[in-house]
Structure 1
Amino acid sequence: MRAIWKGAVAFGLVNVPVRLYAATGEHEVRLHQVHREDGGRIRYRKVCSLDGEQVEWADIAKGYETEDGELVVLTDEDFDQLPLSTEREIEVLEFVPAEQVDPILLQKTYYLEPDRTAAKPYALLRGALEQTDRVAVVKVAIRQRESMAVLRVRDKVIVLQTLLWPDEVREADFPVLDDDVSVRPQELTMASSLVESLAADFDPSQYEDAYVTALEELIAAKVSSGDTRAPAAPPEEEGSSEGGAEVVDLLAALQRSVDKARAARGEDADEGSAGAGAGSQKSSRRSASTARGATGGAAKGRASTSSSSTAKGTAKGAAKDAPASKAPAKKTAAKKAPAKKSADDGDATPARRKARSKAS
């Protein structure tokens, strides 16, 4: 067992260092809620009712709603400031007869184990409780919850049993119990005889949980017959190291964005997809044609460059062989000059023409 609390029992001037252990544990077959179709586990997540987002445990605080509907949020720091005088101490308040403690008040049971150095004061307290046939009424704080409790002896160990507070016990308010009901003496005698016929000393070990036993047998039978299935592997969480889920979510988000934009333009999503496919094919053909054109253009450019270089070489060779070929070019230029002059004459006035003829 593992201790859940450590402190001391204080009665009078005596302190008994002890450790607290849970004395009971429920025995049950642990069953999970699963999806009937595929066997997937049903998970419960803490979700904010306002934004629908899952909330981490570190971001959760306790809240109290007032009668006016206002919310008071209490943090761990607020609880740490509350006084708990019995936080590490089991304070003995009084010793009372055991029969005066109503069993309805009993809540949960713990064992008290003494430290090795406190064996003698522990035995002293245990002996005093046994000799006086009384229980000690105490106060204790477990997991920041202050409770009333009693200390009593069970075999050789001191047992702590927490109690409900008086206002936590409901009153039995059944008007039918106030009705006058007549019971004949013969009926009461017969009922008493039945009680005596079933009278015995209580031995809880002779009883068993028949339901749990039958459930365990049912599960064992299904296992032996092969009526089982492999548990379904849960899907990868978002943000995994492989990043697969992020890629899928990104593609889905992009597709939704495209569909939304097309819908805003009045285009059908399917038509847009078909148009996108056709556009992709046209773009592919256009790219191929462009590539071929670029290749052909480059070849033509190289051929033109080569022809030009050849022509230049031929012209240079011809010029070396026939240097007189430049003269006709000068004559042609001389012939062109009068054309300019006649153009000027056409534009000149008669007086200017007469002056020019006298001068010539």
Structure 2
Amino acid sequence: QYLCAIRPKDGRLVLSTMVYADEVNASDDIAELKAVSETELPDKELKMARQLVDSLAGDFDAERYTDTHRQKIMALIERKADGDTGLVEAPEAEAAGEVVDLMAALEASVAAAKDARKRHPTGVDEGEGEGEATTPEKAVRKKKSA
């Protein structure tokens, strides 16, 4: 997973993954960005985009971050190249999360909704016609408070 940022570069907005220094490419090397300079945008959209970028802008130094996964792989390759025949330990598997039966959950939700409608004074009983509301046997009259 990588953090992404939108930043201005040479008069363009560039979506960049915040990667490690050895993976950063110059925008001139990306052919798809050449078409961006030919696109015309309304001044209102440009102003809004600039405001958004300015409000979120901050310094980023790729050198501050290291790719520890790559370092471990490179160290393993170097050990193997030096003749190390030791086995690599597999990482511990993460505990599996709870598996939810979506169909059962949906059926339970539908049943609960039907029960709730039956309990409501204006609910529809399954035995009655479609769209007919039931009325309670006795209407409870609210007393006015003083």
TM bracket, shorter-chain basis: under 0.3
The TM-score, its normalising length taken from structure 2, stands at 0.26
Larger helix proportion of the pair = 1
What's the TM-score, normalizing by structure 1?
0.13
Please identify the structure whose Cα radius of gyration is greater.
1
